[in-house]
Amino acid sequence: MISRVQHTVKKQKAPVLTSATLAFLTDLKTNNNRAWFAANRKRYEAARAEFIQLVDAFIAGIAHHDPRLLELDPADCVFRINHDTRFAHHKEPYKTHFGAFITDRGRKVTRAGYYFHLEPGACLVAGGLYMPPAVELHAIRRAILADAPALRQLLGKKSFVAAFGKKLPGAHLKIAPRDVPKDHPDLDLLRLKSYEVYRDLPDRRVLSRNLVKITADYFATMHPYVAWLNRALDRAGRDR
């Protein structure tokens, strides 16, 4: 991993996304079948390699705030393009986007982290904890009950509000969680079932030479929030 990080340490030129990668995803959406994919596998491999290079740079940027991330292999952070059709309503074999999730313990562990979604016309940068399982969800709620002001302070920072808005957009319960009073002052936070933030990125920004910096700035802004969520999970783990 040392060589992977050197491009940031030595201020080497940041990787960029080419229009060929977006074009591949656009074409895949129109031709989502195994025969077409097999005939265009070289395009896929080139697009995936380009995406992994970007994820590599994203990791190096976030590592300024959390050096543990330098141990990650960027390819391991990238989701498979094959679509799991076993329980899906539609049976198309491939996803029509690239996605990467970066956490301090790897993509397959339930942790708050940083997400980048590449899809023509629907690109975004996101972070937090998306639809956590019950154990982790309860851990977050306990942390809010213990010290909501600390979380609100993070969410109320001018830079955070400018980037992600005033309210967390995650799915929420219609009523108060069990054992939480209906008039609890922090009910807006406690009702959430998902603790993520995101920012849409138009294709023109994704294709700009500043993509790595743009994404790094958003990840830096959300870092204190991501760290707060992970501390809540860590405390709950120690208490069990």
What was the pLDDT predicted at 10? Answer: 43
The first and second tokens of residue 48, run together, are: 């995936």
Rounded mean pLDDT of 195-221? 97
What was the pLDDT predicted at 2? Answer: 40
d(CA 124, CA 136): 25
Domain residues for the domain of 135 are 2-239
The first and second tokens of residue 128, run together, are: 């937090």
Angstrom CA distances, 225 to 6, 90, 97, 182, 210, stand at 27, 35, 26, 26, 24
Rounding to the nearest 10 degrees, give the CA dihedral for residues 201, 24, 90, 128: -30
Phi, psi of 79 (to 5 degrees): -75, 150
- Contact present, 203 and 17 (Cβ < 8 Å): no
**What are 18-65's pLDDT values in tens digits?**
999 999 999 999 999 999 999 999 999 999 999 999 999 999 999 999
What was the pLDDT predicted at 108? Answer: 81
The tally of domains found in the chain comes to 1
**What are 135-174's pLDDT values in tens digits?**
999 999 999 999 999 999 999 999 999 999 999 999 999 9
Angle of CA points 73, 96, 83, to nearest 5°: 75
Q: Which residue has the tokens 């849409």?
A: 200
What was the pLDDT predicted at 235? Answer: 87
**What are 169-191's pLDDT values in tens digits?**
999 999 999 989 999 999 999 99
Report CA torsion sign: 66, 13, 7, 97: positive
Angstrom CA distances, 95 to 31, 81, 117, 120, stand at 11, 5, 12, 12
Q: Is 154 exposed, middle or buried (0-12, 13-18, 19+ CB in 10 A)?
A: middle
**What are 99-141's pLDDT values in tens digits?**
999 999 888 889 999 999 999 999 999 999 999 999 999 999 9
pTM as predicted: 0.92
The first and second tokens of residue 131, run together, are: 């639809």
